[in-house]
Amino acid sequence: MKNCLKIVAAGLLLGFGSNSFAQDIHFSQFYENSILRNPALTGIFSGDYKVGLDYRDQWGSVANPYRTVSATAETRILANREVGDYVSIGMGAFYDKAGAIDFTSQEIYASVAYNKAMNDAHNSYLSVGFTGGYMARFVDMNKMTFSSQYVNGYDPSNASGETAPFKSLHNFDLGAGISLNSSVDVDNRVNYYLGASVYHLNHPTQIFNGGYTQVKLPMKWQFSAGVNLVFSEHFSLALHGNYSRQQPYNETIYGGLLCYHGITPGLPSIFAFSFGGFYRYQDAFIPTIKIDYANVSFGYSYDANNSTLSTSGSGSTASANEITFYIRGKYNHKNNPRDGVMCPRFENEILYPFNN
């Protein structure tokens, strides 16, 4: 039975990341969560701070669905008033629970990035970021079943005869990234970002208690890109894409949102409605909506699975619902307006009038 436990132990690490060929926690509204995507994207938003929650419920029709929650906060601090450089700081807490034995992941990460101003006319920034965090994994051994408990049927009162060599895993993790955020066109109506990052630089060793199995977490590479096209004062289009590779798995997701801005003549825009969709390659179509009001945004997406998993059971167990809620704001810079941080231009300034 020890060999069986070894197999289970390795399977917990390599098989419980997600059903979309990635080992780490992930979200369909990936563009909202920079800490998981690229530490160099921390602080790339309109305003001085951003706080938010993400909730994902996957495979809701099965007995033990996957549930993932994240809480994040980001802020920006002026580093060089003369040239406009700034430092961005972020924190994120993540929780994921899945499966019949309650495989649970808990993670806390901090990120910091230095954003170097490159071109004032286009608000161009070259950013380098780093992240570090604490990772924990748990399983409920009381919910495991073994062959010795099946005597004329399963009886949980039968002793398993096994002493589990693992209950929890604890590790620290490191990551780094780089990004470029800028715009083109005379009126800066085409804004874009590019980025690359790597996580698990230190190859965290996943050691089960007792030393039966050791698995090093492979590095995760991510490449990100996005463009925001401003057509008029009423309409804009935001496109996002992300590719991640964590051997031997990979994930590609891309799509966009068409945004309508409610405009009242003579007043700043405080309302916008966005709709569109994304596609996770060989996994799911993801229709998405987003509502912005003043400095608050709400998003909802639904993963309509199109992989072989969608044929399992009832045929709908591989779907997922995801909700995001974010608040952006600006600090009071009345004492010295020059202390305000010049904002990157990717997010539409029509929607966020407090931008600069």
pLDDT of res. 58: 83
Q: Using 50, 70 and 90 to split pLDDT, how confident is the model at 354?
A: very low
pLDDT of res. 319: 86
Q: Which CATH number fits domain 24-329: 2.70.210.12, 3.90.1170.50, 2.60.120.1130, 2.40.160.60?
A: 2.40.160.60
Instruction: Choose among 228, 288, 218: nearest CA to 253.
Output: 288
Q: What is the pLDDT of residues 36-51, one digit of tens each?
A: 999 999 988 888 899 9
* Segment 54-61 mean pLDDT: 81
- Coil, strand, or helix at residue 308? helix
Q: Are strands 271-280 and 49-58 parallel, antiparallel or unpaired?
A: unpaired
Instruction: Choose among 222, 268, 220: nearest CA to 24.
Output: 220
The DSSP secondary structure of 260-306, one letter per residue, reads EEE--TTS---EEEEEEEEEETTTEEEEEEEEEETTEEEEEEEEEE-
Rounded to an integer, what is the distance from CA 77 to the centroid of its chain? 23
CB 219 within 8 A of CB 198: yes
Q: Using 50, 70 and 90 to split pLDDT, how confident is the model at 331?
A: confident
Task: Work out the mean pLDDT of the chain and round it to a whole number.
Answer: 80
* Segment 292-317 mean pLDDT: 76
CB 33 within 8 A of CB 92: yes
DSSP count for the chain of H helices, then E strands: 2, 16
Distance from C-alpha of 180 to C-alpha of 126, rounded to nearest angstrom = 5
pLDDT of res. 66: 83
Q: What is the pLDDT of residues 256-279, one digit of tens each?
A: 999 998 876 666 668 899 999 999
* Segment 300-309 mean pLDDT: 85
Rounded to an integer, what is the distance from CA 139 to the centroid of its chain? 23
11 has a pLDDT exceeding 50 = no
CB 251 within 8 A of CB 21: yes
Distance from C-alpha of 250 to C-alpha of 252, rounded to nearest angstrom = 7
pLDDT of res. 78: 85
CB neighbour list of residue 10: distance below 8 Å, 6 or more residues apart: 213, 215
35 has a pLDDT exceeding 90 = yes
pTM equals 0.82
CB 293 within 8 A of CB 268: no
21 has a pLDDT exceeding 50 = no
305 has a pLDDT exceeding 70 = yes
Instruction: Choose among 336, 331, 353: nearest CA to 48.
Output: 331
168 has a pLDDT exceeding 50 = yes
pLDDT of res. 19: 37
What are the residue ranges spanned by the domains of the chain? 24-329
The DSSP secondary structure of 201-225, one letter per residue, reads TT--EEE-TTSS-EEEPPPEEEEEE
- Coil, strand, or helix at residue 168? strand
- What is residue 42's DSSP assignment? T
pLDDT of res. 327: 95
